[in-house]
Amino acid sequence: MLDVNAARKDFPILKREMAGGRPLVYLDNSATTQKPQQVIDAMSSYYRTSNSNVHRSAHTLAEEATIGFEESREKIRNWFGAGESRVVFTSGTTEAINLVAQSWAKVNLNEGDVVVLTEMEHHADIVPWQMLTSEIGVELRWVPFDLETFELDMGAYEVAVQGASLVGAVHTSNVLGVRNPVEQMVELAHQAGAKVLIDAAQAAPHDRIGFDSLGADFLALSAHKMGGPTGIGVLLINEVAFQQMQPFMGGGDMIREVHFDYSTYQENEHRFEAGTPRIAEAIGWGAAIDWLAKWNVESIHEHGLELARFTADSLRSIPGMRVFGRQADGDGAVVSFLHDTMHANDLAVMLDAQGFAVRTGHHCAQPLLRRFDIAATNRASFWLYNTLEEASAFVEATRDICQRYS
């Protein structure tokens, strides 16, 4: 069992008082999680004692910064089971996916080549591919999902991957919480000769991902959604795919030699990390992983799912309320909902006035929402520090607001 109260103690923001002296109930974890004090301290301490630019220098601070930075890379490699793969730092999931589009797809695909996406994708896994359709003429194929069960149409998927070059698929939907059958999707894609990019932004905080054993070719995620700082994320890359990539951005750190008329590049991960890296961010992320390692990831998952199930079931009992998602085993701790007559923004503002932070809007997944013929939902999302009491207070506040004002 997860010791939620022990975990809460590490998050200073949870002590914050909101309007009217009400406690903060933070239910916007899918957008970004809060940070434990240990992460904040790791970054402060880096800046207070070892701050320096990394790589290629002979002074002590530079050594310490380089070691801290590269150790974080190894922590991330280990945490995500990518021991045989490459770990390239990016500014987040979005840049990681753009890196696949620009460094792998643009180099290896041709006009008419097919990229398969699901209708559940986040904009981060849509727009880079649309840009590529105009740049090199790849074609997009969309795999639908069922509007009742919220499940991906695996029959359609199996057809779509035939002759495709790449699949881009969200591991766990940030709107529906649905966890897709990624293992099966990787297998079917590979049978069809397509590479697979998994968007694990939402899976990272709740699941133990084994990149090498999953066998996907690329996997993208962000630190800020798993207790780490803003401004950093990662692309995990299978070795074969890594060798097929060409540099994305040029500059310092990614080069071997620069001449007036040509340059040669590093052959390891640095090849894709141009410029001064996100040193403090990497170190903060490493501390987040150390902190997470103190808890049991399976019980974080179970805890989140329990809260999500309770919330979804309770919200369904509010007249006029529609809940999007199934909260099945393995799903994310996310509940999207929308009231028939209560405007989503009004509900959010009224909840906020009582200390409840939920996200409201299209959640960067407009195509998904449009399939339901809606433009926005409210969304409550949980992490390991949320309690059943919070979920229950949130449901009651929502029920009350909808009763009184809808």
Partner 1 sequence: MNTGVGSGPGDWPEALAAIIEDFTEAFDAKERYEMLFELAEQVDELPLEEWTAKTKVHGCQSEAHIMVGLNENGGFHLRGAADSRIVQGLIAITASALEGLSVTQVRAFSPKFVEEMGLSSALSPNRANGFLNMFKKVKEEATLLEGQDG
- Say if strands 166-170 and 114-118 run parallel, antiparallel, or are unpaired: parallel
Judged by CB under 8 A, the residue of 345, 388, 396, 405 near its own copies is 345
**91 interacts with its own copies by CB under 8 A:** yes
Distance CA 82, CA 237 (A): 8
**336 interacts with ligand PLP by CB under 6 A:** no
What is the nearest approach in angstroms of its own copies to the Cβ of residue 43? Answer: 7
**28 interacts with ligand PLP by CB under 6 A:** no
Comparing CB distances to partner 1, the nearer of 147 and 349 is: 349
Comparing CB distances to its own copies, the nearer of 69 and 80 is: 69
**119 interacts with its own copies by CB under 8 A:** yes
Six-digit token string for 230: 């803003």
Judged by CB under 8 A, the residue of 279, 300, 333, 335 near its own copies is 279
Residues with catalytic function:
364
**159 interacts with ligand PLP by CB under 6 A:** no
Measuring CA to CA, which residue among 115, 117, 236 is closest to residue 173? 117
CA distances in angstroms from 97 to 173, 183, 312, listed in the order given: 16, 19, 31
Judged by CB under 8 A, the residue of 16, 47, 51, 60 near partner 1 is 60
**CA terminus-to-terminus distance, the chain:** 39
What is the nearest approach in angstroms of ligand PLP to the Cβ of residue 400? Answer: 29
The pattern of x and - marking residues 178 through 207 that bind its own copies according to CB under 8 A reads: ------------------------------
Comparing CB distances to partner 1, the nearer of 186 and 351 is: 351
Judged by CB under 8 A, the residue of 31, 154, 328, 393 near its own copies is 31
**322 interacts with partner 1 by CB under 8 A:** no
Count residues contacting ligand PLP (CB under 6 A)?
17
Comparing CB distances to ligand PLP, the nearer of 222 and 377 is: 222
Stretch that binds partner 1, among 58-66, 178-186, 206-214, 286-294 (CB under 8 A): 58-66
**274 interacts with its own copies by CB under 8 A:** yes
Angle, to 10 degrees, between the axis of helix 37-45 and the axis of helix 279-292?
150
**16 interacts with partner 1 by CB under 8 A:** no
Query: Three-state SS across the chain?
Result: CCCHHHHHHCCHHHHCECHHHCECEECECCCCCCCCHHHHHHHHHHHHHHCCCCCCCCCHHHHHHHHHHHHHHHHHHHHCCCCCCEEEEECCHHHHHHHHHHHHHHHHCCCCCEEEEECCCCHHHCHHHHHHHHHHCCEEEEECECCCCCCECHHHHHHHHCCCCEEEEECECCCCCCECCHHHHHHHHHHCCCEEEEECCCCCCCCCCCHHHHCCCEEEEEHHHCCCCCCCEEEEECHHHHHCCCCCCCCCCCEEEECCCCEEECCCHHHHCCCCCCHHHHHHHHHHHHHHCCCCHHHHHHHHHHHHHHHHHHHHCCCCEEEECCCCCCCCCEEEEEECCCCHHHHHHHHHCCCEECEEECCCCHHHHHHCCCCCEEEEECCCCCCHHHHHHHHHHHHHHHHHHC
Sign of CA dihedral 281, 287, 293, 299: negative
20 binds, among ligand PLP, partner 1, its own copies, none (CB under 5 to 8 A by kind): partner 1
Comparing CB distances to ligand PLP, the nearer of 255 and 364 is: 364
52 binds, among partner 1, ligand PLP, its own copies, none (CB under 5 to 8 A by kind): its own copies
Judged by CB under 6 A, the residue of 163, 215, 231, 252 near ligand PLP is 252
The pattern of x and - marking residues 163 through 202 that bind ligand PLP according to CB under 6 A reads: -------x---x------------------------x-xx
Judged by CB under 8 A, the residue of 38, 108, 299, 366 near its own copies is 366
Stretch that binds its own copies, among 145-153, 278-286, 308-316, 319-327 (CB under 8 A): 278-286
Comparing CB distances to ligand PLP, the nearer of 161 and 204 is: 204
Tell me if 160 sits within 8 A of 151, measured CB to CB. Answer: no
The pattern of x and - marking residues 327 through 346 that bind partner 1 according to CB under 8 A reads: ----------------x-xx
Give the residues lining the site for ligand PLP (CB under 6 A): 30, 92-94, 122, 124, 170, 174, 199, 201-202, 222, 233, 252, 275-276, 364
